[in-house]
Homo-oligomer: A and B are copies of this chain.
Amino acid sequence: MNSMIGIKGLYMNKIKKAIVLFSGGLDSTTCLAWALKKGYECFALSVNYGQRHARENESAAKIADLLRVKLISIELKLPWLKSATSLVGGGKVPTYSRFRRKIPSTYVPGRNLIFVSMGVSFADAIGAGAVILGPNAVDYSGYPDCRPPFYKSLEKSVNLGTKKGALGGKIKLLTPIINFSKSEIIKLAFKLGAPLKYTWSCYKGGKAPCGKCDSCVLRARGFKEAGFRDPALE
């Protein structure tokens, strides 16, 4: 799919470049497939920030390879995260609770802000017009950096602080699934032919998904509601 779009784009001399923030999970894989379908020449960006589930980076490599997309992996060690989030080292990953109200310990301070910033740097460096990412504000863990007003505001900021923005261009921040339920994301992924079989969602990063963390529970519920079997579990 990608190579055909690529050739068509080249021929028409209208290739649109995009940076896709890509963890190798269900949501960002769906976004990558979406971006390819939209005709973007995609550069996938993944970050190893010391997360327990760095296994997702293997998924990212496999999927990028399958979709023939260039993957750029960044190493980022931020020492303050160790005691600030259970995803890097600060305590156990909690099991899912539908009654939880506060921001859970799996919140990684500033993560999406940093990832978007890196994507914007990449976009500004190569003249790409979009940074595409998969935050979701419906079936999510209550993270503040997954909500629409944040991205709307950040897009404005970004264009005030980049060369592209200063020269009259624009770097768009596209969040195509932000208002989708998990089952809607899964339906879209199937429609796009996204290789969900190779995606990784579990926060714990063991050999197999734990089935108990937020990420596992929301994924399982999404598949059930969408009426599909999770191909990663087959």
Enumerate chain A interface residues (CB-CB to B < 8 A): 72, 74-81, 83-85, 103, 107-114, 116-118, 120-126, 144-145, 147, 149-150, 153-154, 156-158, 160-163, 165-167
Contact = CB atoms under 8 A, between A and B. Distances in A.
A113 B114 CA distance: 8
Contacts of A150: 157, 160-161
A126 B157 contact: no
Contacts of A144: 160-163, 165-166
A103 B153 contact: no
Contact of A153 (B112, B116, B118, B160): B160
Contacts of A74: 76-78
Contacts of A103: 163, 166-167
Given A144-B162, A161-B150, A163-B107, A81 B121 contact: yes
When A and B form their complex, which 6 residue pairs have the shortest distance between CB atoms, in order from nearest? A110-B121, A84-B125, A109-B124, A144-B166, A150-B161, A145-B161
